[in-house]
Amino acid sequence: MTPSRGPAAGPPPVPPAAPRPPARGPRRGVYSGIWESTPGKWRVEYAEWEFCHIFSGVSILSEDDGAVHALRSGDCFVIRPGFRGCWEVVETTRKAYVVKI
């Protein structure tokens, strides 16, 4: 996943992300992989749909409108295009993702 990031105080953590394979065949525009990050917090803005399944860890996804979502092992959710907010990894988090652009 490659969310866009706005300016932040100090250098933001750099969460490792699995590279997206080239789009081909009937899966054109659909990417999937495993993502893992150590604790940190950064701004995210999504232009695509993303399905996530948290394997381990604890993260908090905060929307600009004030909604806060605690994410834990076993949680599955979808992030819609146009989402803006902050992703905070509280405990090292590992997730599977599917992105549709």
Nearest to 11 by CA among 32, 52, 40: 40
Structure pTM?
Answer: 0.73
Q: Is residue 79 within 8 Å of 49, Cβ to Cβ?
A: yes
- The yes-or-no verdict on residue 5 having pLDDT over 90 is no
pLDDT of residue 29: 86
pLDDT in tens, 61-79: 999 999 999 999 999 999 9
Q: Provide CATH code, domain 30-100.
A: 2.60.120.10
Cβ burial 64-92 (10 Å sphere, 16+ → b, else e): eeeeeeebeeeeeeebeeebebbbbbeee
Rounded Cα distance between 42 and 6, Å, is: 8
From the CA atom positions of the chain, what is the Rg in Å?
A: 13
First to last CA, the chain: 11
- The yes-or-no verdict on residue 2 having pLDDT over 50 is no
